[in-house]
Structure 1
Amino acid sequence: MFKEFNIENFEDSSKILEEILNKSRVEVQELLKIENKTYKNFVLPFSEIGEAINEFITPVFHLDSVKNSKITSKVYEECLPIISKYESEISRNEDIYSALKDIQYNENSTLNNIQKKVLENEIREFELSGCQLENNKKQRLEEIDLALGELSHKFSQNILEATNSFSLIVEDFEDVKEIPKSDLELAKFEENGKTKYKFTLQMPSYIAYMTYGTNREKREELYKAYTTRAPQNGEIIEKILALKSEKVEILGFKNYASYSLATKMANSEEDVISFLEELGNKAKKKAEKELEEIKQIAKEDGINNFRASDISFYSEKLKKAQYEIDEEYYRPYFEQNSVLYGFFATLKELFNIEFKLSNAKAWDDKVKVYDIFEDGKIIARIYIDLEARDDKRGGAWMNNWHSYYKDSKSNIQLPTAFIVGNFPKSTKDIPSLLRHSDVVTLFHEMGHALHHLLSKVEEANVSGISGVAWDVVEFPSQFLEYFSYDRDILKLFAKHYKTGQVLDDEAINKLIKAKNFQSSMATVRQIEFALFDFKLHQKLYKTEVEVQELLNSIRDRFSVVQIPSYNKFQNSFSHIFSGGYSAGYYSYKWAEVLSADAFYMFLDSKNVLNKELGLKYRNCVLSKGGSENMDKLFFDFAQREPKIDSLLKLDGII
């Protein structure tokens, strides 16, 4: 039914991969010998070859992110050039490209729309990889892709090592007296008969001190350590930018941004810039007011030289003053298992799916594996790994493993996916108690996972998140986020882990009201990141200084916070330098227009758990994967174009 997650013989992964790829090369050559190539005898088996490779390599690379060690890094570094070389060979193979073009021409009248979409995407990818170029240019592109892969991994590895190498030791209880008990317990240790507290750059620990640590200088020390991580990545950024610029020049694009847009929904560079600037301009005035409110609270403590490192601490005090919201008060009500099972009940009501715990193997004892059922029939599997670990990469993400598709023997293959978070750890005394922001993150990543797992598209290349344009791939994840603030849904899982008492209406109302707390500041911050990313890829910035100057110019226009000169945020901007978001970070806001407008339909129906609407969304959007353009799928669901005002209203900007 499902391929089990198996890490036996892990250290031999590169040898096994080499064998798999050599077998694949032979299979591809056999396909190319077919005289009368058709969609059925060529495209389908060619797609299956890719799926088989992905099935093996995904867990290998995944393990390096969730159980990082010298061994996983070594295996990753051994496998990367092997898979990169193979992918370059395939993507620049003129014979495969010609075969796809011939099939597209010969069978155009008999192929269905999904099959046409597969060919359209595949041919475009071959052209974007440079398969029509001379051999010397192909060779150079192959070298560039390999180098970029290695640099991206090094960028990520540097951040992880820097994150793990720093710790702030606090000895005076006065400096930690406001820190929540559960966080303090994790930080506490004994040395020479004295109780001390250790805070790290791991996100739960970092957030705990920045939000509640009363020693201002120690907050500054921690903030500085966090924002100056991995300075060697400045040089890596220079190399990455130079290689990307060279690559797209070879491919005939004026810059990397235009290359990036070739596979996205946005029509032009101008559309992206104007969209971001419009949002930034609309949010900035309110963002300035929001910052002024924080500064006023700080002045009550006698602080007139307000710093960026003061924001979290005084924002928390302001939130308590305005909404009487204490993030720590809520955490006992958001015990991880309770949240999961309440969330599963929500998804059952919306999408008619059930989650049942499986005893399938995973990579860590804390990982939970669930099989997903519909009407008593198993349809997918999901691995959920939520707790922070020293050997886990920071942040949260969804990784797709298997896709839903019908193979060449007409067997349906079922999909699998991984959800990873860095939420507070459980101990033998205290379970994992989530912040509400963690709950929102869980909903977000599950949105990605369901987009992949609920696909009913029988062609692997456009099933699930495969083939979905990057600037709309966040639509289903952001859409599901909104449900994490609904009163009825919160009551399903917000139960005190000791007493079982449900979070009361007053506390829930405060949480909902506080949803848009500093939403304008958050918006301009996202605009800053997105504009920096996009403009960085519109021309070649050759030095760290030029990169910094670009970031400074954008901050001067949109940031309301005075950022210290030592802050080198770009050196840990993993999304664009070791993720897939280069010239695509704007996607978060671009897709948010769709997600906000879709959620508004549920609000307008006066029933956020509207099953009829939930099933319509599932059928029109989630089940279609990448088989059609998202603007059409959204129209099929909403019967109209999306409206930007829904986003501005939900964010409280208008």
Structure 2
Amino acid sequence: MFNEFNISNLENAKSNLEVLLTTSKNEIDELLKIENKTYENFVKPYEEIGERVNEFLTPIFHIDSVKNSEITTKVYEECLPLISDYETNISQNDNIYRSLKDIQDNYSTSLNDIQKKVLENEIRDFKLSGCHLNNEKKDRLKELNLKLSELSHKFSQNLLNATNSYEMIIDNYEDVKELPQSDLALAKFEEDGKTKYKFTLQMPSYLAYITYGSNREKREEIYKAYCTRAPENGKIIEEILKLKYEKVNILGFDNYAQYSLSTKMAKTEEEVVRFLEELALKGKDKAKEELKELEEYAKEDNITNLKSYDLAYYSEKLKKAKYDIDQEYYRPFFEQNSVLNGFFNFLNEVFNIKFTLTDAKAWDTTVNVYDISEDGKTIARIYIDLQSRKDKRGGAWMNNWHSYYINSKGKEQLPTAYIVGNFPPAKDDTPSLLRHDDVVTLFHEMGHALHHLLSKVPEALVSGISGVAWDVVEFPSQFLEYFAYDKEVLKLFAKHYETGEVLSDEAIDRIINAKNFQSSLGMLRQVEFALFDFKLHQKLYETEYEVQKVLDSVRDKVSVMNPPKYNKFQNGFSHIFAGGYAAGYYSYKWAEVLSADAFFMFIDSGKVLNKELAVKYKNIILKNGGSKDMDKLFFELTNREPSVDSLLKIDGIIS
């Protein structure tokens, strides 16, 4: 039923990929020989060839992120040029493009809406790949695509290496006395008969000290190490920007932002900038108030010049003072397995889907694999890898492996996906205990996964998250996040791992009340990242100095507190330089407007655990995947256009 995860033959991946790509190319050549091409005899098998390549490659690229080693990096770097060359050749094949165009023209009346969407997307993407250009320009695009893939991987690898190479050793208990016991236990070690504490730039460790570290100098030390990681990425950014600019110029665009928007819900550069600046304008006064409150609070410690490395520390103390939020109190109630099982119960209650643990093979013993069923029928599989490891890339993400579709023989292909996190790991005497923020992250990534796994679209190219516009792909993930703040939902899994005691109403109220603590500062931070990204791609900036000037100008406009000069945030901005968010980071906020507006339906119904509404959402948004434009699906769900004010209200920025 499902392909098993198996990379035992990893060292032969390159030769196996060569065989697969040669076979795929030959099969496409045979399809092109068909005289009377139809959707069934050309598009369907062409789609399946692409799926087969993706199914082979995804585990190979995935393992480099979750179990990084010299061999995974070597294999990644061997396979990357092969797949880049293959995909460029396919995407620039004028014969495939003209065949798709002919089918679109000749069968427009007999094709269904989903098939029309597949053709519309594919024809657009062929144009964006330069299939209409002369051979010289095609060859140059091929070179550019390969080089950009290599640079993205190098950017990510530099960041991982820099993260892993740093340690801050503390031997004075006074400097760690405020850390939660669980964080302290992870940092503690013995050397020469003395107790010491080790902090790294791995996210759980870094966050522990920057949030609770008593020694201001040590906070700055680890902050500086974090925000000056991988300085060599500055030159890689220069090269990435130059190559992207050349690429989109060849394709007929004025800049990369314009190229990026050709596949998104937002239509113009002006629309995106206006949207972000509106958020900044509406949130800035409140953000200034939030910062002033924090500065006043820090004065109690005789801190009269609050710095960036003080923000997390004093924010946590102020939050605790205002809402009595003590993360150490909460973490025993969020034991990883308890959270997962309760989360699954919630998803079963609202979406009518059941998760069953399997003994399927994965890449690490801490990874759990579940089959998902609906009305007694298995419909999908999910791999969940939540604990941080030294060989795992930082952050959290969902990775789709197989897509749901009906193949040319009428058989169902079931979807699979991976969820990856970097939550505090279990130790011999302590299970993995999560922060509430980790719980929210889990809900977020599951939102992505369900968007992919619950699809019932028969065409792989627009099933699940395939074909979904990038600036709305975060809608289902952010929508699900809101449920992580609901009392009824939290009571399903917030149980003390030792006593079984359920988290009290009062304690849950504190989490809910604290949700919008410093929400304006948080929003402005996201707007800063998004505006920097977008403006950076509106023209060519050729030097590190120019890149820094763009970031500085954005900060001057939207931020209420600028970081120190040594902060080189851009060198670690992997979302846009090693991921798919270039000129698209605004998507988080764009999609958040949809998710907030959709969640208001549940609030307005008077019942957050509203199964009828949840099933409607599942049937309209999740099951349709990328087969319809999200603005149409959103209107079908809510019967209204989305409003920015819904987001500002739900974040407590306006009333």
TM-score (normalizing by structure 1): 1.00
Counterpart CA distance in 2 for 1:610 and 1:341 is 20
Deviation, 1:562, is 2.6
Counterpart CA distance in 1 for 2:73 and 2:556 is 39
Counterpart CA distance in 1 for 2:213 and 2:227 is 18
Specify the SS of the correspondent of 1:296: helix
Specify the SS of the correspondent of 2:384: strand
Aligned to 1:333: 333
- Superposed CA offset, 1:364-395 (max 9, x none): 00000000001111000000000000000000
Letter matched to residue 539 of structure 1: K
- Superposed CA offset, 1:311-370 (max 9, x none): 011001100111111112110000001111111111111111000001100000000000
Aligned to 1:427: 427
After superposition, where does 1:470-485 map in structure 2 within 5 Å? 470-485=470-485
Letter matched to residue 388 of structure 2: A
Aligned to 1:27: 27
Specify the SS of the correspondent of 1:378: strand
Aligned to 2:518: 518
Counterpart CA distance in 2 for 1:559 and 1:280 is 8
Letter matched to residue 95 of structure 1: N
Letter matched to residue 486 of structure 2: D
Specify the SS of the correspondent of 1:492: coil
Aligned to 1:555: 555
Deviation, 1:645, is 1.4
Aligned to 2:393: 393
> Are positions 1:371 and 2:371 aligned together?
yes
Counterpart CA distance in 2 for 1:207 and 1:640 is 40
Letter matched to residue 238 of structure 1: E
Aligned to 1:311: 311
Letter matched to residue 409 of structure 1: K
Counterpart CA distance in 2 for 1:369 and 1:640 is 39
Counterpart CA distance in 1 for 2:293 and 2:391 is 39
Aligned to 1:197: 197
Specify the SS of the correspondent of 1:383: strand
- Superposed CA offset, 1:432-486 (max 9, x none): 0000000000000000000000000000000000000000000000000000000
Letter matched to residue 235 of structure 1: K
Deviation, 1:248, is 0.3
Specify the SS of the correspondent of 2:391: coil
Aligned to 1:447: 447
Counterpart CA distance in 1 for 2:329 and 2:540 is 49
Aligned to 1:564: 564
After superposition, where does 1:276-355 map in structure 2 within 5 Å? 276-355=276-355
Deviation, 1:644, is 1.7
Aligned to 2:647: 647
- Superposed CA offset, 1:57-103 (max 9, x none): 00000000000011110000000000000000000001100100000
Counterpart CA distance in 2 for 1:527 and 1:434 is 28
Aligned to 1:159: 159
Letter matched to residue 272 of structure 1: V
- Superposed CA offset, 1:375-419 (max 9, x none): 111000000000000000000000000000000000000000000
Letter matched to residue 518 of structure 1: Q
Deviation, 1:166, is 0.3
Aligned to 1:2: 2
Counterpart CA distance in 2 for 1:208 and 1:309 is 13
After superposition, where does 1:621-632 map in structure 2 within 5 Å? 621-632=621-632
Specify the SS of the correspondent of 1:593: helix
Aligned to 2:413: 413
Aligned to 1:610: 610
Letter matched to residue 43 of structure 1: V
Aligned to 2:500: 500
Aligned to 1:382: 382
Deviation, 1:123, is 0.4
Counterpart CA distance in 2 for 1:200 and 1:32 is 55
After superposition, where does 1:148-297 map in structure 2 within 5 Å? 148-297=148-297
Counterpart CA distance in 2 for 1:563 and 1:289 is 18
Unaligned 5+ segments in structure 2 are none
Deviation, 1:298, is 1.2
After superposition, where does 1:27-46 map in structure 2 within 5 Å? 27-46=27-46
Counterpart CA distance in 2 for 1:183 and 1:525 is 26
Aligned to 1:18: 18
Specify the SS of the correspondent of 1:300: helix
Counterpart CA distance in 1 for 2:619 and 2:307 is 49
Letter matched to residue 633 of structure 2: L
Deviation, 1:154, is 0.1
- Superposed CA offset, 1:540-575 (max 9, x none): 000000000010011011111231000000000000
Aligned to 2:95: 95
Aligned to 1:113: 113
Aligned to 1:133: 133
Counterpart CA distance in 2 for 1:562 and 1:555 is 7
Counterpart CA distance in 1 for 2:295 and 2:15 is 58
Counterpart CA distance in 2 for 1:48 and 1:7 is 22
- Superposed CA offset, 1:92-148 (max 9, x none): 001100100000001101000000000000000000000000000000000000000
Specify the SS of the correspondent of 2:7: coil
Letter matched to residue 295 of structure 1: E
Aligned to 2:582: 582
Counterpart CA distance in 2 for 1:247 and 1:379 is 40
Letter matched to residue 457 of structure 1: V
TM-score (normalizing by structure 2): 1.00
Quick check: 475-484 or 644-653, which moved more? 644-653
Counterpart CA distance in 2 for 1:240 and 1:150 is 10
> Are positions 1:403 and 2:381 aligned together?
no
Letter matched to residue 478 of structure 2: Q
Deviation, 1:639, is 1.4
Counterpart CA distance in 2 for 1:483 and 1:271 is 30
The answer to whether the Cα contact below 8 Å between 2:180 and 2:327 also exists between their aligned partners in 1 is: no
The answer to whether the Cα contact below 8 Å between 2:333 and 2:497 also exists between their aligned partners in 1 is: yes
Letter matched to residue 521 of structure 1: L
Counterpart CA distance in 2 for 1:221 and 1:537 is 32
Aligned to 1:538: 538
Aligned to 2:124: 124
Quick check: 287-296 or 364-373, which moved more? 287-296
Counterpart CA distance in 2 for 1:256 and 1:568 is 22
Aligned length: 654
Unaligned 5+ segments in structure 1 are none
- Superposed CA offset, 1:596-638 (max 9, x none): 0000100111111111100000001000000000000011111
Deviation, 1:640, is 1.5
The answer to whether the Cα contact below 8 Å between 2:463 and 2:626 also exists between their aligned partners in 1 is: yes
Deviation, 1:305, is 2.0
Counterpart CA distance in 2 for 1:320 and 1:189 is 29
Counterpart CA distance in 2 for 1:431 and 1:459 is 42
Counterpart CA distance in 2 for 1:312 and 1:395 is 18
Deviation, 1:292, is 1.2
The answer to whether the Cα contact below 8 Å between 2:451 and 2:622 also exists between their aligned partners in 1 is: yes
Counterpart CA distance in 2 for 1:459 and 1:644 is 33
Specify the SS of the correspondent of 2:85: helix
Specify the SS of the correspondent of 1:516: coil
Specify the SS of the correspondent of 1:372: strand
Specify the SS of the correspondent of 1:196: strand
Specify the SS of the correspondent of 1:68: coil
